[in-house]
């Protein structure tokens, strides 16, 4: 497709969208705007855009598609600014925020003027941030939720999907309230639980400092998302506060149920509780890309001698298998290997495991 795309916000998501659009539509003009001038320059060097913005207003008014890739609070402010511009009559505006009800309500400032707004949320991410971490395949096989609203035509929704075809995402259309309940359950609520768990460990740390050194295995995995940007999560929480309050009340009921089960001191009840959770969790498509980025970890039981890490990384590099993280597991409760390697995809993890097992006698495990 030819045409002008204007991306506002050149972080991980904005940069990845730009890469995927230019990969699929190389004739398009993709202009990027960011408050950080260096990010705009870097985005162009990385070919996430092919033009940096000289004038926010002029570039918005020339665009056929405007993609707002900013925190949710800033998205609302930007929509007010865009509504005052002389935009093209057939322009499509979309966003990438992880809450939708408030965004769709705020978008009336645009739709009342006949401007098409389609809410969007690509449910993929990375442990890294910024345009330097952007990848054209970031959204591949991930769900990309769309909330078109009542004023968006089928044609405009299809046109947006065509622009975003290069992402290779799986598009789903949902209502804003449905979106916020789903993402509240699988993304926003787990973030509160993870943060609460860290707070609880912090309180215990005052009494027993050793807990910090021994917090590994399951604790590390459950609490990982608590390391995310607090400003971003403050805004997301405020945008989805009613859903989260309901979910937390349900969580309190569930925890009361656990306390009653423990008071009963029944081994059979405790076993059934864990067993039912395991069965349901194992039946879920848990390795698909979702609201919380997946990590594809491989654990390698290597001997402790100088050079063993460079040996493993050298083997993977020779096979051109990329890794995203590497760490030594000093405490290995629930973990079988001393060396933990994180991969970008399940395919890379499988290739990594095959490479290590075929060229060494080290045991590899996944959990």
- DSSP 8-state class, residue 188: I
pLDDT at 213: 66
- pLDDT tens sequence across 140-175: 878 899 999 888 999 999 999 999 999 999 999 999
Tokens 């890469």 belong to 19
Residue 203 has pLDDT above 80, yes or no: yes
Q: How far is the C-alpha of 346 from the C-alpha of 14, rounded, in Å?
A: 24
Q: Is the pTM of this model over 0.85?
A: no
pLDDT higher than threshold 50 for residue 335: no
Q: Calculate the average pLDDT of the chain.
A: 88
Instruction: List the one residue out of 220, 6, 215 whose CA is nearest residue 95.
Output: 6
pLDDT of 291 > 90? The answer is no
Q: Quote the CATH superfamily of domain 296-365.
A: ACT domain (3.30.70.260)
Q: Decide if pLDDT at 85 tops 90.
A: yes
4-174 and 296-365, same CATH topology: no
The CATH number assigned to the domain with range 179-283 reads: 1.10.3660.10
Q: What pLDDT does residue 218 have?
A: 66
The closest of 18, 131, 125 to 67, measured between CA atoms, is 18
pLDDT of res. 364: 87
Mean pLDDT of the 340-359 span: 89
What is the mean predicted confidence (pLDDT) over 286-302?
A: 66
pLDDT band at 69 (very low <50, low <70, confident <90, very high): very high
Domain ranges of the chain: 4-174, 179-283, 296-365
Identify any residues that bridge with 300 across adjacent strands, giving them in sequence order. 339, 364
How many CB atoms neighbour CB 106 within 10 A?
19
**Mean of the pLDDT values across residues 264-279?**
92
Write out the two tokens for 72.
């949710």
Positive or negative CA dihedral for 139, 143, 147, 152? positive
Lateral strand order in the sheet of 4-8: 51-52, 29-33, 4-8, 65-68, 92-95, 116-122, 143-147, 170-173
Average pLDDT over residues 257-264: 95
* pLDDT for residue 255: 95
pLDDT in tens, 33-45: 999 999 999 999 9
Beta-carbon neighbour count of residue 184 at 10 Å? 25
Q: Which CATH number fits domain 4-174: 3.40.50.2020, 3.40.50.720, 1.10.287.3510, 3.40.367.20?
A: 3.40.50.720
Of 54, 12, 11, 5, nearest to 30 by C-alpha is 5
């Amino acid at each position: 497709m030819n045409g002008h795309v204007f991306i506002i916000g050149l972080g991980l998501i904005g940069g990845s969208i730009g890469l995927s659009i230019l990969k699929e539509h190389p004739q398009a003009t993709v202009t990027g705007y960011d408050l950080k001038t260096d990010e705009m320059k870097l985005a162009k060097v990385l070919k996430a855009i092919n033009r940096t913005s000289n004038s926010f207003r002029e570039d918005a008014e020339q665009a056929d598609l405007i993609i707002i890739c900013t925190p949710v609070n800033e998205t609302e402010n930007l929509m007010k600014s865009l509504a005052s511009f002389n935009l093209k009559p057939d322009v499509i505006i979309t966003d990438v925020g992880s809450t939708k009800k408030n965004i769709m309500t705020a978008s009336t400032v645009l739709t009342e003027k006949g401007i098409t707004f389609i809410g969007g949320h690509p449910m993929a991410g990375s442990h890294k941030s910024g345009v330097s971490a952007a990848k054209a395949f970031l959204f591949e096989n991930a769900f990309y939720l769309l909330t078109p609203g009542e004023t968006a035509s089928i044609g405009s929704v299809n046109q947006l999907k065509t622009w975003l075809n290069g992402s290779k995402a799986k598009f789903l259309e949902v209502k804003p309230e449905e979106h916020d309940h789903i993402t509240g359950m699988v993304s926003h609520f787990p973030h509160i639980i993870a943060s609460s768990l860290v707070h609880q460990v912090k309180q215990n740390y005052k009494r027993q400092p050793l807990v910090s050194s021994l917090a590994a295995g399951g604790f590390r995995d459950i609490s990982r998302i608590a390391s995310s940007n607090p400003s971003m999560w403050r805004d997301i929480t405020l945008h989805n506060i009613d859903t989260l309050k309901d979910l937390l009340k349900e969580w309190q009921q569930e925890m009361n149920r656990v306390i009653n089960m423990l008071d009963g001191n029944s081994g059979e009840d405790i076993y059934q509780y864990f067993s039912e959770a395991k069965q349901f969790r194992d039946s879920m498509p848990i390795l698909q890309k979702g609201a919380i980025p997946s990590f594809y970890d491989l654990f390698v039981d290597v001997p402790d001698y100088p050079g063993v890490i460079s040996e493993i990384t050298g083997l993977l590099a020779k096979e051109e298998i990329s890794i995203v993280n590497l760490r030594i597991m000093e405490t290995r409760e629930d973990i079988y290997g001393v060396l933990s390697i994180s991969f970008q995809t399940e395919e890379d993890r499988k290739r990594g495991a095959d490479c290590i097992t075929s060229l060494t006698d080290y045991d590899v495990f996944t959990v």
